[in-house]
Structure 1
Amino acid sequence: MYSDQEQPPPTQPPAYMPPTQRVKFEFIGEAFQLLQKQLGAWVGAATLTVLLTSLFISPIYIYWAFQLTKNPEQTNPTVSGLLSIVVTLVSTIMGAGLQYMALKQLRGETLSATSFTGAFSKFGPLAILGLFLGAVSALFGVLPGFLPLLLIVPEILLTTFFTLSSLLILDRNLEPVAALKESVRVMRQEFWISLAFILLSGMASMVGFAACGLGILFSLPLYPLCIVLLYRAFYPERFSPTATQEGQ
């Protein structure tokens, strides 16, 4: 007990520590270094991805162009919507393949040009996810007049919320709906910095196309590498030495 003359030492409240920002623009430089380490495998995978994507999407574009020649003054919204769904579906599945490769590299594995096919074991959930994202894209795209242009910002924001959904299917075996919900939950934590990071990553990956058409094969892999680094920022435990690719 303290006497009247002795007072207990005052307790000091703990100093406020601001939360550490997890998403960093330095990830783009790290992605470039990772790309350089296994450049041959990445260029091979990018080449196969572009060829396969073109193989599936080209017939829809040809049909769409044929419809325009018949009636150049009016675009059939059904054809436009179908085109948007198919493009998003194929892009989601093939993009997930490159993200699968990036996951493997970040865990210290050696890649080959066909490593992206490992993602096809999750074809069903990825296809459902792609159909959903395609339907959302089609809904924005087939609106009349200038509405699609006015809604491009909301569409970008919504797409950003869903950025990690493919990786959550690949790495944690989540179902498509659960993956979408989890992606939204996580991306809300550092949304604006994540949005800026995603936009910069996308622009960096297109540098090769702007400089030289074939250069896209060298810069395209930057984007999936950046997205997996973004995923690592929110789920660092998935990349610990004891972590596995099994769902938790």
Structure 2
Amino acid sequence: MKLDKKFTVEYKVGIVSSLSASIIWVILISLWSLIAANIVSLWHSEVVLFWQYLVAGISIGAMLVGSIQFYRNNSNKFKPRFPSLSMDYIYKEIETELYFKTRENIAYSSNYNICALKEISEMKRSHNWTGDYISSPILESAHNHKVELCKDANPLTTAKIIFDVPLEKNQPTTFKLKYELGDSSKIMQPMIGHLVRNPTERIILRLCVPNDMVKGVKRCIYADSFAQINLSQPQIIHCKIIGNNDVYEWVIDNPSLLYYYRISWEFT
């Protein structure tokens, strides 16, 4: 399978960003090394020349400026965080549904249709549930894939899907991942979304609720994983009434890498 031009360009942008960060780290480490060398030189010199003071002063000043900027960038809680890319596989389609049986009892499911871009034996999927209960992951597969819960992934719930036979390059597979969710304390954040870490051809987000349980259901695209930088104004999603349920659905074709697609709502 060939990646289209859009995926290739976005992947190169991610690579350039990573290289830029690496170069900045190399410069800072070089400055710290230069400072240490100058301090040792000044300590052992009987005669200290003017240029040695000058170099030491410039190095210390640059280090302080770089360190202050580094601290500000990492301590600013309002600064958006951008995830890394994964190029092990492509999503042909991912269909995610949040189904409210009642306000407190919810079922989550995601249907995955992936195609390997290289040989892989497993993949991981993380979920951030903000209610008060989440079950162990349940996997449905016609290919005898298995699922394990990663114990070291708090606060996220991360499931590791182990393929029955390692996927070869360009080999597709499908499976369904499910969770039983609880929100008896009514503390969940009313949203469902998908952050695009892999090349993806189609995303389907679906919210199913009993009639008149929610209002103001909107969809929005964000440039960061914390939904701080919206790329457009939120748009209302109109429901489809199916029996005793209201269904809200958003289909996204060819979503952009690193964008966060989210549906949000209010409970009535």
Question: How high is the TM-score relative to the length of structure 2?
Answer: 0.24
Find the structure with the greater CA-based Rg: 2
Of structures 1 and 2, the one scoring higher in RCO (CA 8 A, sep 6+) is 1
Q: Which structure shows the bigger proportion of residues in helix conformation?
A: 1
Question: How high is the TM-score relative to the length of structure 1?
Answer: 0.26
